[in-house]
Amino acid sequence: MLLHFNPISTPFTLKPTVHHRNLTVFSQIQPIPIPFTTTNLSISDESLRSKGFNLHSTITDLNLDHLNSVFVAVGFPRRDTEKIQIALENTDSLLWIQYEKTKRPVAFARATGDGVFNAIIWDVVVDPNFQGIGLGKAVMERLVTKLLRKGITNIALYSEPRVLGFYRPLGFVADPDGIRDTGPGMSMTTASDIRNVLATAAACSTQHLTTCFTISRKFMVH
């Protein structure tokens, strides 16, 4: 469910700002006009339904024990479900995909922020039994679309270093200099193709990693 645009040739101007906390780097990109549409997605809602997947944007019908199992399956530590409940109640936007046959969540992502300017995407997970069929992209594209519709123009994504192999083909590049003054690491920035901006499918929680990295992208929506 990717938005399809022709590549934008306008060069990006990067202004890195180092944050020592959690060893993250924010690369601010000057806003550029984006023709905003949701007509061309990598996988449509109808196609998902035809394959037995249902989209949800609220925590209604979301079994937190089942969600916790997905977290554990992808390498997250098992979390207290009461704390998950509180976290989700304080989440601005979320999206999850339910497999109709089992009624269990198989893909999930959420975003927190100030509700106006900034958002951070967290906990992007896909059940290992359902990876490789586009569910990660489906979740990420719709979540980013939802944030853009709210007028949120600065979206950051925390990710684990081990998923770089997924990001590189989508247009993300590692910072060859690492995280300055904080030790080895990487920052990421998007290529000029807007498809690559929206096509992200993995994230990590700072609760279970000693080091996280961030992608930060400013959008201008007309």
Tell me which residue of 159, 141, 123 sits closest to 48, measured CA to CA: 141
Instruction: Return the DSSP state at 77.
Output: P
Q: How far apart are CA 222 and CA 214, in angstroms?
A: 26
Could you confirm whether 167 is annotated as catalytic?
yes
Q: How far apart are CA 153 and CA 56, in angstroms?
A: 23
* Burial track 114-133 (b if 16+ CB lie within 10 A, e otherwise): eeeebbbbbbbbbbeebeee
- Sign (positive/negative) of CA torsion 26, 27, 30, 31? negative
Q: Where are the alpha helices (DSSP H) in the chain?
A: 45-50, 64-73, 81-89, 135-149, 164-167, 194-198
In this structure, what token pair is assigned to residue 24? 């993250």
Catalytic residue among 96, 99, 108, 167: 167
Positions annotated as catalytic residues are 167
